[in-house]
């Protein structure tokens, strides 16, 4: 192919039918910038609508396709009215479809006697088995549509783009792929012995799996097409890390000399640093006193005291006359950091600024100006800090907190930010301090962070009592609520977490709302806060503040509180549907308590029946509070079949690979990466182009 006729796969999304500027913006949010990106936007899940299940054979927590006759439909009269449609099938059992949001016209479609085919997750509800917001089809007895013959992919979505829209776009991309196949980046010498198919075949299989492809192997991620892409993605990441490390070594960085102000801060703390904190601090100081960019990862379990480490490094940079950017994965956490850093650093006369999503236009402009002029010395924010419009005067240090939430690729993109043309011939880069509590085993950590030096805080502050964890059936839910209220009357503060997985933001918010209402109705004196992803930033901030100030006894929340939230007085945590969460996420959530000297408790509520794996997970949680131990156990028990359907938080944000599930690939990937790195820059570029979102920023970094 000549350069004149670039492949249509490399062209802009607007070349597709139905894509305008508005849509492009939304697609960009998913990391999709051209047609090829759509091909690498892989299904997160598949729905199996190829077989019907009898209602009598359903059980909660699974997904199924059912078909039956509509017995009745009615609307509930509560404030948020629901539409309930009751169906009976050949097994003689009934199931209710529940819709929270519906148009009047939609409600009228569900006529008594007509046939309904519905696909969704089965829940145990007040009226027996339920499906909440199933996808469905209506038809009459004499006009029964055939069942699907292939799996239906479902893709990761973003606000404003639904499954159907995305599916249409991906279909267009696929038909282009059939005419303009991608060049093969990995040679047959490597692929054939590993039994891996070509790239084009792999992509076609995953977007349009045929029944003959074996649903079971796809669902468990063992299909060769998936293995091929997993291998390629891991290889890309490994190559990028190798390259990045080599390149960074060639840059210069500012020198931060020993800092009297940092010493002063240490003197003023109400605690003294642990041995582990002191050791890690010494490692960081060694790095930042050198004219070469630090690239250090600090790993420390939840509650081990990483924030103060970041603050001390920040002070040292600021005292040397450089700016510091501190990036947190959520706005809630960035606000907490702002409050904490202000408390520590203002007495030292350092200017701490907070860039956030709720600023008015004028306020934001002012903040941005403060960053350009250098007046703002320590700037805290979310990933918004790294947008193109944000400029620093002399950025000397970048701190990334809870980095596992950002993913390897985003981290790489940051290397390029804050480049400074210095007087010497060498380009200057800021130092980087990356912090994570991700309990991933050390061998895997070395792979995921192959470009970083590692420091470990392997000690908790003194006086912490291990959190006591109980595992209880959901049947005890009311007892647990009652007990919680009693505790709160004694001055305890508690979290109640409602994690609904794979549901929309809206449904998750509703689950939390319902729980908060139940508390309010039963115990009107309890001071309750409700926090979920659909609240505005300012509202979230107010609620967190009130909880921290003990103006609230109970915080009912979704997993938005998962990372970094620090309210040392909170000592009781209830997690509902704990059986659905992975160990890494449970550990993160539980880490919100046990942060003070009080004995903390955690109750994990589960819904029966539980899979063997879920049972094992919860018993590990009961037995241990050590993040690294939990991670090792996790690796042992995670059967690949469990992965699909549970959200992969706690893993790196790869598109398809999962460092734990796919650990067996790692030695091979390293070997191939080393061989390739010696040879061919074009190959690496082609691979990065496929796999790395936001890549355009740092390919030249």
Question: Residues in the site for ligand ADP, rule: CB under 6 A?
Answer: 271, 273-274, 277, 300, 302-308, 437, 461, 566, 568, 595
Q: How far is the CB of 66 from ligand ADP (least distance, A)?
A: 45
Comparison of 20 and 463: residue with beta carbon closer to ligand ADP: 463
Q: Report CA-CA distances (Å) from 228 to 183, 305, 364, 689.
A: 15, 40, 45, 17
CB-based closest residue to Mg ion: 564
Q: How far is the CB of 357 from Mg ion (least distance, A)?
A: 20
| Closer of 197 and 564 to Mg ion (Cβ) | 564
Residues with Cβ within 8 Å of residue 36, at least 6 apart in sequence: 7, 9, 10, 173, 182, 689, 690
How do the residues of the chain divide into helix, strand and coil, expressed in percent and rounded to 5? 45, 20, 40
Q: Which is nearer to Mg ion, 120 or 564 (CB)?
A: 564
Judge if the upstream peptide bond of residue 299 is cis by omega within 30 degrees of 0: no
Neighbours of 176 (CB within 10 A): 20
Residues 669 and 231: beta-carbon distance below 8 Å: yes
308 touches, from Mg ion, ligand ADP, none (C-beta below 5 to 8 Å by class): ligand ADP
CB of 463 to ligand ADP, least distance (A): 7
Provide the minimum distance between the beta carbon of 375 and Mg ion in the complex, in angstroms, as a whole number.
Answer: 27
Q: Which is nearer to Mg ion, 435 or 530 (CB)?
A: 435
The DSSP secondary-structure symbol of 3 reads: S
Q: Minimum distance from CB of 67 to Mg ion (Å)?
A: 49
Which position has the token pair 């990028």?
A: 240
59 makes contact, choosing from Mg ion, ligand ADP, none, with CB < 5 to 8 Å by partner type, with none
Regarding beta strands 45-47 and 152-154, do their DSSP bridges make them parallel or antiparallel, or are they unpaired? antiparallel
Radius of gyration of the chain (CA): 26
DSSP 521-578: HH-TTS-EEEE-TTS-HHHHHHHHHHHHTTS-SEEEE-GGG-SS---TTEEEEEETTG
Count CB atoms within 10 A of the CB of residue 321: 12
CB of 627 to ligand ADP, least distance (A): 10
**Shortest approach of ligand ADP to residue 209 CB, angstroms?**
41
Q: Which is nearer to Mg ion, 430 or 564 (CB)?
A: 564
The entry of Mg ion, ligand ADP, none near residue 598 (CB within 5 to 8 angstroms by kind) is: none
The item of Mg ion, ligand ADP, none sharing an interface with residue 625, based on CB under 5 to 8 Å by kind, is none
Q: Which is nearer to ligand ADP, 257 or 466 (CB)?
A: 466
Q: Which stretch binds Mg ion (CB under 5 A): 120-128, 190-198, 564-572, 612-620?
A: 564-572
Helix (H, G, I), strand (E, B) or coil at 207: helix
- For ligand ADP, the closer of residues 273 and 454 by Cβ is 273
Nearer to ligand ADP, 305 or 329 (CB): 305
The nearest distance, CB 322 to ligand ADP, in angstroms, is 23
Contact with Mg ion (CB under 5 A) among 43, 61, 68, 564: 564
Taking the least distance from each CB to ligand ADP, the nearer of 273 and 635 is 273
* Residues in contact with Mg ion, shown as a per-residue x/- string from 314 to 353 under the rule CB under 5 A: ----------------------------------------
Give the CB-nearest residue to ligand ADP.
305
Pick the piece of the chain touching Mg ion (CB under 5 A) from 233-241, 406-414, 558-566, 647-655.
558-566
**What's the rounded Cα separation, in Å, for the pair 487 and 232?**
52
Cβ(650)–Cβ(588) under 8 Å? yes
- 143-151, 469-477, 510-518, 557-565 -> range binding Mg ion (CB under 5 A): 557-565
Binding-site partner at residue 300 among ligand ADP, Mg ion, none, CB < 5 to 8 Å by type: ligand ADP
Given ligand ADP, Mg ion, none, residue 304, with its beta carbon under 5 to 8 Å by kind, binds: ligand ADP
- CB 66 within 8 Å of CB 48: no
Which partner in Mg ion, ligand ADP, none is near 273 (CB below 5 to 8 A by kind)? ligand ADP
Q: What are the contacts of 188-191 at 24+ separation with CB within 8 A? A: 190/672, 191/228
User: Based on CB atoms, which residue is closest to Mg ion, 13 or 312?
Assistant: 312
Q: CB under 8 Å, gap of 24 or more: what pairs does 5-14 form?
A: 7/36, 7/180, 8/35, 8/176, 8/179, 8/180, 9/34, 9/35, 9/36, 9/39, 9/173, 9/176, 9/177, 9/180, 9/182, 10/34, 10/35, 10/36, 11/35, 13/38, 13/169
CB proximity list for 380: less than 8 A, separation 6 or greater? 326, 328, 334, 337, 338, 341, 352, 353, 354, 355
Q: Is the CB of 434 or the CB of 511 nearer to ligand ADP?
A: 434
- Nearest-approach distance from CB 306 to Mg ion, in angstroms: 5
Q: Is residue 594 involved in binding Mg ion (CB under 5 A)?
A: no
CA distance 699 to 603: 46
Instruction: For the CB of residue 563, give the shortest distance to Mg ion in the complex, in Å.
Output: 7
Look at the chain and count its residues.
701
Which of ligand ADP, Mg ion, none lies near 418, with the C-beta cut-off 5 to 8 A by kind? none
Nearest approach in angstroms of CB 261 to Mg ion is 22
Six token digits for residue 190: 């490597």
Q: Lay out the sheet containing 468-473: strands in order across.
A: 468-473, 601-606, 570-575, 493-497, 554-557, 528-531
> Helix, strand or coil for residue 12?
strand
Least distance CB 653 / ligand ADP (angstroms): 20
Which of 95, 70, 74 lies closest to 84, judged by CA? Answer: 74
Minimal distance, residue 328 CB to Mg ion, in Å: 9
Q: Which of ligand ADP, Mg ion, none is residue 461 near (CB under 5 to 8 Å by kind)?
A: ligand ADP
Comparison of 66 and 333: residue with beta carbon closer to ligand ADP: 333
Q: For residues 227 and 588, which CB has a smaller minimum distance to ligand ADP in the complex? A: 588
Shortest CB 558 distance to ligand ADP, Å: 20
User: Per-residue b/e over 448-472, b at no fewer than 16 CB within 10 Å?
Assistant: bbbbbeebbbbebbeebeebebebb
From the list ligand ADP, Mg ion, none, partner contacted by residue 96 (C-beta under 5 to 8 A by kind):
none
> Which partner, Mg ion, ligand ADP, none, binds residue 271 by CB below 5 to 8 Å per kind?
ligand ADP
The nearer residue to ligand ADP, 306 or 655, going by C-beta atoms, is 306
Least gap, CB of 600 to ligand ADP (angstroms): 13
Round to whole Å and give the CA distance between 359 and 537: 10
Residue 499 or 564: which CB sits closer to Mg ion?
A: 564
Per partner kind, with CB cut-offs from 5 to 8 A, the member of Mg ion, ligand ADP, none near residue 36 is none
Q: Which two tokens stand for residue 499?
A: 């994690």
Q: Could you list the residues that contact Mg ion (CB under 5 A)?
A: 564
């Amino acid at each position: 192919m000549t350069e004149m006729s670039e492949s249509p796969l490399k062209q802009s999304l607007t070349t597709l039918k139905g894509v305008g500027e508005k849509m492009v913006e939304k697609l960009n949010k998913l990391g999709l910038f051209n047609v090829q990106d759509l091909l690498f936007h892989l299904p997160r899940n598949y729905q199996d609508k190829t077989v019907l299940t009898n209602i009598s054979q359903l059980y909660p927590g699974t997904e199924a396709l059912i078909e039956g006759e509509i017995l009745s439909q009615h609307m509930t009269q509560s404030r948020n009215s629901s539409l309930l449609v009751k169906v009976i099938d050949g097994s003689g059992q009934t199931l209710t479809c529940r819709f929270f949001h519906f148009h009047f016209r939609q409600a009228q479609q569900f006529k008594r006697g007509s046939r309904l085919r519905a696909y969704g997750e089965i829940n145990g509800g007040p009226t027996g088995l339920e499906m909440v917001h199933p996808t469905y089809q209506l038809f009459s007895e004499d006009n029964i549509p055939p069942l699907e013959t292939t799996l239906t992919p479902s893709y990761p979505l973003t606000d404003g783009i639904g499954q159907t829209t995305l599916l249409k776009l991906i279909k267009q991309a696929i038909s282009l792929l059939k005419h303009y196949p991608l060049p093969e980046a990995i040679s047959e010498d490597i692929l054939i012995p590993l039994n891996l198919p070509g790239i084009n075949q792999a992509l076609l299989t995953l977007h349009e799996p045929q029944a003959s492809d074996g649903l079971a192997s796809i669902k468990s991620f063992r299909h060769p097409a998936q293995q091929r892409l997993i291998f390629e993605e891991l290889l890309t990441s490994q190559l990028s890390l190798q390259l990045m490390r080599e390149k960074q070594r060639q840059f210069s960085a500012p020198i931060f000399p020993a800092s009297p102000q940092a010493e002063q801060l240490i003197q003023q703390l109400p605690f003294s640093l642990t041995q582990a904190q002191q050791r890690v601090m010494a490692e960081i100081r060694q790095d930042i006193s050198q004219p070469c960019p630090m690239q250090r990862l600090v790993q420390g379990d939840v509650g081990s005291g990483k924030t103060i480490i970041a603050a001390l490094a920040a002070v040292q940079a600021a005292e040397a006359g450089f700016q510091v950017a501190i990036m947190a994965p959520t706005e809630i956490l960035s606000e907490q950091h702002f409050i904490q850093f202000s408390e520590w650093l203002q007495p030292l006369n350092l200017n701490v600024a907070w860039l956030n999503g709720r600023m008015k236009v004028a306020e934001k402009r002012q903040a941005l100006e403060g960053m350009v002029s250098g007046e703002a010395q320590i700037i805290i924010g979310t990933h918004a800090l790294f947008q193109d419009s944000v400029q620093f005067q002399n950025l000397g240090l970048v701190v990334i907190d809870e980095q596992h939430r950002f993913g390897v690729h985003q981290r790489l993109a940051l290397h390029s930010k804050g480049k400074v043309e210095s007087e010497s011939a060498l380009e200057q880069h800021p130092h980087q301090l990356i912090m994570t509590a991700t309990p991933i085993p050390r061998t895997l950590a070395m792979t995921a962070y192959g470009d970083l030096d590692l420091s470990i805080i392997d000690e908790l502050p003194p006086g912490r009592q291990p959190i006591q964890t109980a595992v209880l059936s959901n049947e005890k839910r009311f007892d647990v609520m009652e007990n919680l209220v009693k505790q709160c009357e004694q001055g305890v503060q508690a979290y109640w977490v409602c994690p609904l997985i794979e549901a929309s933001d809206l449904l998750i918010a509703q689950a939390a709302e319902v729980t908060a209402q139940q508390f309010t109705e039963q115990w009107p004196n309890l001071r309750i806060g409700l926090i979920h992803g659909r609240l505005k930033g300012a509202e979230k901030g107010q609620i967190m503040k009130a909880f921290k100030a003990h103006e609230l006894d109970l915080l009912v929340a979704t997993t938005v509180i998962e990372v970094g939230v620090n309210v040392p007085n909170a000592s009781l945590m209830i997690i509902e549907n704990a059986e659905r969460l992975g160990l890494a996420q449970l550990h993160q959530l539980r880490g919100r308590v046990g942060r003070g000297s009080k004995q903390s408790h955690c109750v994990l509520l589960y819904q029966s029946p539980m899979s063997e794996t879920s049972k094992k997970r919860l018993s590990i949680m009961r037995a241990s509070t050590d993040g690294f131990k939990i991670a090792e156990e996790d690796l042992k028990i995670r059967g690949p079949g469990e992965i699909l359907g549970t959200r992969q938080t706690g893993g790196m944000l790869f598109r398809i690979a999962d460092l734990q599930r796919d650990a067996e690939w790692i030695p091979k990937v390293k070997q191939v990466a080393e061989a390739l790195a010696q040879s061919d820059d074009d190959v690496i570029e082609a691979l990065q182009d496929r796999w790395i979102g936001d890549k355009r920023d740092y390919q030249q970094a």
